[in-house]
């Protein structure tokens, strides 16, 4: 997981020791850490806002802590590549470095705090994961409607994005509506955005498809319900990033493996 140091404090009883918190990206409790969890770096090398990668852990009662913390050296990335200038790409970048840059770039979605930017970025992430038959719904008059829809093999998914951690109560009626749309219609018709601005209607047959509703968040993946043969799942953006990383690392990764990952995520 990637985030940034939110709080840093020296130990009053030991000036060589310190503790702090890493910012949570899902509006839940921040992650506690101690000096030993960050390779014993001196406090002078750290500051609030420093970006880090870490392993997230959770105890009972929602207490969270971070281990295996590593500093993200953004200066090195900028030395190797300036994404604003195509001429600045190094001539001898190897494949592993390029792969690491791709993964780091994709994981920046975890830091997005604007709801519309998050919605658009989720759509882009799902596309680069490997979905070809994916549609983003027209945002105008979208209140109460889903953000998008995709099909891969025999799996049909209507998805909605939210940055709120307490979404279940206020999305209950919407989720029920999504289930009804998927389960009681032979086809799904919706407006999609076109490149030149206007919208166009699209009709997708649903017969014979396995159907799911996804609520995509910064939280943890879990199955919410299985109602009338439609599974409703919370899907963590962190797990979607892991699928992208898995796709890059596995040269045999194909649509069948992607569909299986989607089916078994949060199962």
Q: Are strands 31-34 and 199-205 parallel, antiparallel or unpaired?
A: unpaired
Radius of gyration of the chain (CA): 21
Q: Which fold has domain 113-264?
A: Restriction Endonuclease (3.40.91)
- At a CB cut-off of 8 Å and minimum separation 6, what does 95 contact? none
- Read off the pLDDT of residues 190-246 as tens digits, 9 standing for 90 and up: 877 666 666 778 888 998 899 999 999 999 999 999 988 899 999 999 999 999 999
Report CA dihedral (164, 168, 173, 179) to the nearest 10 degrees: 100
For the chain, the structural domain boundaries read 2-71, 75-106, 113-264
Edge-to-edge strand order for the sheet containing 133-136?
A: 133-136, 148-152, 155-161, 210-217, 230-236, 222-227
Asked whether the beta carbons of 182 and 188 are under 8 A apart, the reply is yes
pLDDT in tens, 89-144: 555 667 887 888 888 889 999 889 898 899 999 999 999 999 999 998 877 655 56
Residue 14 in this model has a pLDDT that exceeds 80:
no
Strand partners, 215: 160, 234
* 80: pLDDT strictly greater than 60: no
Cβ(172)–Cβ(153) below 8 Å: no
Lowest mean pLDDT among 29-38, 40-49, 85-94, 215-224: 85-94
pLDDT of residue 130: 93
Chain centre to alpha carbon of residue 84: 24
Whether residue 81 has pLDDT greater than 60: no
Q: Are 81 and 89 in contact (CB under 8 A)?
A: yes
The pLDDT of residue 88 is: 47
In this predicted structure, what is the pLDDT of residue 99?
Answer: 85
Backbone angles phi, psi at 44, to 5 degrees: -65, -25
pTM confidence score: 0.66
Question: CA–CA separation, 53 vs 67, rounded Å?
Answer: 9
| Across 12-29, average pLDDT | 82
**Other CB atoms within 10 Å distance of the CB of residue 124:** 12
Q: What is the pLDDT of residue 169?
A: 79
Q: What is the pLDDT of residue 83?
A: 47
- Pick 61 or 217 by higher pLDDT: 217
- The string of pLDDT tens digits covering residues 143-197 is 567 899 999 999 999 999 999 888 887 788 899 999 988 988 888 888 776 666 6
Distance CA 146, CA 191 (A): 12
Q: Which fold has domain 2-71?
A: OB fold (Dihydrolipoamide Acetyltransferase, E2P) (2.40.50)
């Amino acid at each position: 997981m990637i985030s940034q140091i939110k709080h840093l404090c020296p130990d009053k009883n030991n000036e060589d020791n310190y503790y702090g918190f890493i910012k949570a990206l899902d509006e839940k409790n921040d992650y506690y850490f101690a000096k030993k969890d960050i390779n014993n770096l001196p406090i002078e090398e750290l500051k609030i806002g420093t970006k880090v990668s870490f392993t997230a852990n959770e105890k009972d009662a929602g207490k969270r802590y971070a281990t295996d913390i590593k500093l993200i050296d953004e200066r090195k990335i900028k030395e190797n590549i300036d994404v604003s200038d195509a001429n600045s790409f190094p001539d001898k970048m190897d494949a592993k470095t390029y792969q690491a840059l791709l993964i780091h770039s994709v994981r920046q979605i975890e830091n997005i705090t604007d709801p519309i930017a998050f919605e658009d970025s989720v759509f882009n992430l799902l596309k680069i994961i490997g979905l070809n038959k994916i549609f983003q719904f027209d945002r105008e008059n979208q209140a109460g409607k889903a953000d998008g829809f995709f099909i891969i093999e025999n799996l049909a998914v209507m998805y909605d994005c939210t940055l709120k951690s307490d979404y279940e109560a206020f999305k209950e009626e919407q989720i029920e509506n999504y289930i009804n749309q998927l389960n009681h219609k032979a086809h799904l018709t919706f407006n999609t955005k076109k490149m030149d601005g206007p919208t166009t209607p699209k009709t997708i047959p649903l017969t014979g498809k396995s159907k799911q509703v996804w609520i995509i968040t910064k939280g943890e993946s879990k199955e919410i319900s299985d109602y009338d043969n439609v599974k409703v799942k919370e899907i963590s953006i962190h797990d979607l990033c892991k699928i992208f990383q898995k796709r890059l690392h596995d040269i045999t990764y194909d649509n069948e493996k992607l569909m299986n990952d989607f089916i078994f995520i949060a199962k």
